Structure 1
Amino acid sequence: MLDDQVTAIGEVVADCAAKAKRAAPALARATDEAVDAAIGEMAARLSSARAKVLAANAEDVAAAEAAGMSSGLLDRLRITEERLADMAEQLRLLASVPHQVRSTRIGTLDGGLQLVELRRPVGVIGANYEARPNVTVDVASQLVKSRNAGVLRTGSAALRSASALLREVIAPGLSDADIDPDVIQLVPSADRAAAAALVELPALVPLVILRGSGESTRELGRRAAAHGVRTLAHADGGGVLYYDEHADPDVAADLIRRSLDRLGVCNRLNLLLVHRAVYNTVLPGVLAALDGVGVKASLPPHDHAIGYEWALDAEREATVTVAPVDDLRHAARIADEDTSGLAAGIVTENEAAAEEFMAAYTGTGVFWNAPTRLLDGFKLLGVPETGINIDRVPGPRGPVTYTDLSLRQYAIRPV
């Protein structure tokens, strides 16, 4: 019986992927004006359909609260009037930014030939994400801007919200711009088997964006690799801040507070490393700053790995690990080797120390007197992101946006 259910879910996902693939060529041929009009219409409908979207989200939140979801995850799940307005503004900005150049002349070859680099859509891109309904709009708009069709899959916590966003915002926005709304599909099942099925369709969905945290996302990445599907995965997070011996305590306290404005996000402050020479002196101020935002410190001796990600701990997400280190090189080494490599920052008034730390840390984002919360597509680049890729191999790294979702093709033609 269970095998039959898994098979049926797989067929549902494959049907969504087939619909998206059939519609993809029309989107690939769409004009820049049509694409931007579709995204602009989505922004407008976030306003005109807000009552329906907020009502669906309220049902999701109520169900999640009844199921005992943690406050950090509830914060991710909840859509407010303010967040809806922010989503619309991000879409308007995305519609206004230039499209990626699709043809670039590289040079000439022997025999009177011209070398041109072309950028082509992938075709169909999948996306798997959990209790973050805004991701539905972020990813769909990025796919449309890059002229890729998409198959989106979210978990049960956000499925009502995601369905409302597709039905009331995304699909009609595409239709209003004369783009086939089938280019963006939402898997109607919240069963986890749907996530597995999405990464097992290389002929239909060759690339899948995996947004989430923890072992389940890593397992999807392994399953995708076994089936020949490429992934842009974001499985782990946790920002690191190094408190240097030359830091201004007021600046440090401000960074701590600004890094913890939301607890259920990957780029929040997770690990605070303090130079041993000032550890005892500044610790009371650190604890006061944490207490001011309702967060506790996990102090030595720790009963957990130093890079343990508190955002994934429903019982103790309002926690930051605090530990002394010998110097900035020691801090950079811990941030590199014992955390996800998402982001690390230094708070210091010493420029030489800052430059040395920034050269030593090899993770995705590095910051000086700035919070790791800035590692975000909209905050850094002015457009929504599909996720943050922290791979240590060539390819898109950091916030992945529409400009990263294309294939390079070389064309040779007569001059």
Structure 2
Amino acid sequence: MEFPELTEMGRRAKAAARGLAFLGSAEKDEVLLAMAGALREHAGEILAANALDVKKAEEKGMKKSLVNRLRLTEAGIEQLAAGLREVAGLADPVGEGEFWSRPNGLRIQRTRVPLGVIAMIYEARPNVTVDAAALCLKAGNAVILRGGSEAIESNIALSRVIARAAEGKGLPRGSIQLLEKTEREWVQQLLRMNAYVDVVIPRGGAGLIQTVIRNATVPVIETGTGVCHAYVEQRADFAKAVPIVINSKTQNPGVCNALETLLVDDSIAEKFLPLMAEELYRHGVEIRGCPRTCAILPGAAAATEEDWSTEYLDLILSIRVVEGLDQALDHIFRYGTKHSETIITEDYSQAQRFLREVDAAAVYANASTRFTDGGRFGFGAEIGISTQKLHARGPMGLRELTTTKYMIYGNGQIV
């Protein structure tokens, strides 16, 4: 089934992208600041719309961690506005480039240009509506947003507020559009609109991402699920390890950079695990462990094979005792999703080997996996975290929303 309204959205976006590509940095920044002001001015209507989404989610029995991800507050609106102001202050990647000359006199310039039209498909996180629009705009792209049905009222309110503010500052109509239909058939068409959409970026759980990959004919930048690991090596400082694990797991369990599996060296397991478990239980974390873990922690449930590859997005942690770094690396290689992994150790050589050998977008030594974030990396808001290896990997900011173009200057050369 084809939807003419969606085709028209594509046409508007393509036309808008043509103009956005040539906007100056100052013009784009002025629009972003206007969008920030509009969010604050219309905070009341945005929060009222969000309250409808939260109520429906609670009535459906949505997990508390997911409801919290959906919920907006006055402080949250201010944070979104601050994010827009921060993006306005970032360097504009469009136009960056380099020159070189060839022996025949040709001068070649490689320069950064916008991708064009970006379709952003995401789940129940209304903040993505604003973050994605901001980054796409700053990088000179038009964006078609399609959020999850759980956040539809919030997304409608947010997108209308920022789109009106942008158009009020002279941005072409169609620069920021939200697909307000939640039926899957509409998304199926969007994923095949190669004539109008240059790239699709999915952001959400494994089901959403795989659905987009399987059904899209438009090129996809794959953001990944996060089965993230922490390995507590035998020379770890427990005073560092316990807070790192607690932060990685509990600070916000419903996000892709949260810790899902803890690996502990066998030589320290009997001393470390009781200390760790005491803090985990105090934070309401359910432990699912290997046989060795369950022997040390009688309160732990037995982990299944499925647990090792599960992104819980909840206060659940799987724990496995391993016999050294080699076994830890083997476990991560088998079950990891190439997102974020950390080692906790005071042994420099072990840390360096872990950093070198783990294949993931972000690999840490003695730090929380929660740092895998565009804002924490200094990119401003992020469009998502890519776990693939082509075009972009890790937190995707402004540069990842551009591509390159070659401009060649000649003087009659034919050879």
Partner of 1:378: 375
Asked if structure 2 preserves the Cα contact closer than 8 Å seen for 1:126 and 1:151, the reply is: yes
AA aligned opposite 2:306:
A
Partner of 1:389: 386
Match of 1:87 among 46, 55, 80: 80
Asked if structure 1 preserves the Cα contact closer than 8 Å seen for 2:108 and 2:408, the reply is: yes
Partner of 2:237: 248
SS at match of 1:58: helix
The alpha carbon displacement at 1:414 in A equals 3.6
Instruction: Give aligned-pair identity as a percent.
Output: 31
Match of 1:321 among 308, 315, 318: 318
- d(CA) in 2 for partners of 1:31 and 1:149? 15
Aligned length: 399
Partner of 1:186: 178
SS at match of 2:174: helix
Asked if structure 1 preserves the Cα contact closer than 8 Å seen for 2:386 and 2:396, the reply is: yes
Say if 1:368 and 1:150 are closer, same or farther in 2 by CA, change over 3 A.
Answer: same
Partner of 1:339: 336
- d(CA) in 2 for partners of 1:184 and 1:146? 13
Partner of 2:55: 62
Spell out, residue by residue over 1:48-75, the C-alpha distance to the aligned partner (whole angstroms, 9 max, x if none): 1111111111111001111111111111
Partner of 2:400: 404
- d(CA) in 2 for partners of 1:262 and 1:104? 39
The alpha carbon displacement at 1:306 in A equals 4.6
Asked if structure 1 preserves the Cα contact closer than 8 Å seen for 2:94 and 2:140, the reply is: no
Asked if structure 2 preserves the Cα contact closer than 8 Å seen for 1:215 and 1:235, the reply is: no
Residues 286-325 of structure 1: pairs in structure 2 closer than 5 A: 286-301=276-291, 302-311=303-312, 317-325=314-322
- d(CA) in 2 for partners of 1:262 and 1:375? 13
Match of 1:238 among 221, 224, 227: 227
Partner of 2:255: 265
- d(CA) in 2 for partners of 1:346 and 1:333? 14
Say if 1:278 and 1:59 are closer, same or farther in 2 by CA, change over 3 A.
Answer: same
AA aligned opposite 1:320:
L
Partner of 1:135: 128
Gaps of 5+ in 1: 1-6
SS at match of 2:252: coil
The alpha carbon displacement at 1:243 in A equals 0.7
- d(CA) in 1 for partners of 2:403 and 2:391? 11
Spell out, residue by residue over 1:266-315, the C-alpha distance to the aligned partner (whole angstroms, 9 max, x if none): 11110000001111221111111211221111012422335333435xxx
Match of 2:269 among 279, 291, 295: 279
The alpha carbon displacement at 1:207 in A equals 0.5
- d(CA) in 2 for partners of 1:330 and 1:79? 42
- d(CA) in 1 for partners of 2:244 and 2:114? 40
Residues 104-253 of structure 1: pairs in structure 2 closer than 5 A: 104-168=97-161, 170-224=162-216, 227=217, 229-253=218-242
- d(CA) in 2 for partners of 1:292 and 1:88? 35
The alpha carbon displacement at 1:111 in A equals 2.6
SS at match of 2:342: strand
Match of 2:365 among 357, 365, 368: 368
The alpha carbon displacement at 1:355 in A equals 1.2
